[in-house]
Amino acid sequence: MNIASGRKEELDVNITPLIDVVFLLLIFFMVSTTFERESEIEIVLPQAAANVTPADDFSLEVTIDAEGTFYVNGKRVINTKIETLKKAMQEMAGERKDPPII
């Protein structure tokens, strides 16, 4: 017995109705949602008040000439020893801590 095989239809899932339902739900939720304005809290920000200290424009200028003589702020140092230069710089700086050295 020979049964004739008919045309076989390809089965596929039609998702068009599903997309329609999703869009309808999206529209429904967008329309039915109530938007609420957030309450505002008034904040008074503090004003910036910095203690302004006067700028100290003091700096030490150390110069070495071609002969190797040291000068601190234009005054010649007695000899070329580093200890003497250090003492001269400390005397010029006085009580100031860490003055800029040029």
Question: Does the residue 98 lie in any domain?
Answer: yes
Q: Among 8-12, 19-23, 26-30, 64-68, which stretch is predicted with the lowest mean pLDDT? A: 8-12
The domain containing residue 90 runs over which residues? Answer: 57-102
Question: Does the residue 68 lie in any domain?
Answer: yes
Question: Does the residue 34 lie in any domain?
Answer: no
| Counted domains in the chain | 1
Please tell me the distance from the alpha carbon of residue 99 to that of residue 59, in angstroms, as a whole number.
Answer: 5
Question: Does the residue 99 lie in any domain?
Answer: yes
pLDDT category, 6, cuts 50, 70, 90? low
Whether the model pTM is above 0.85: no
Question: Does the residue 52 lie in any domain?
Answer: no
Please tell me the distance from the alpha carbon of residue 31 to that of residue 35, in angstroms, as a whole number.
Answer: 10
Residue 22 has a pLDDT of: 97
Question: Does the residue 74 lie in any domain?
Answer: yes
Question: Does the residue 83 lie in any domain?
Answer: yes
The model's pLDDT over 65-76, given as tens digits with 9 standing for 90+, comes to 988 889 998 899
Question: Does the residue 64 lie in any domain?
Answer: yes
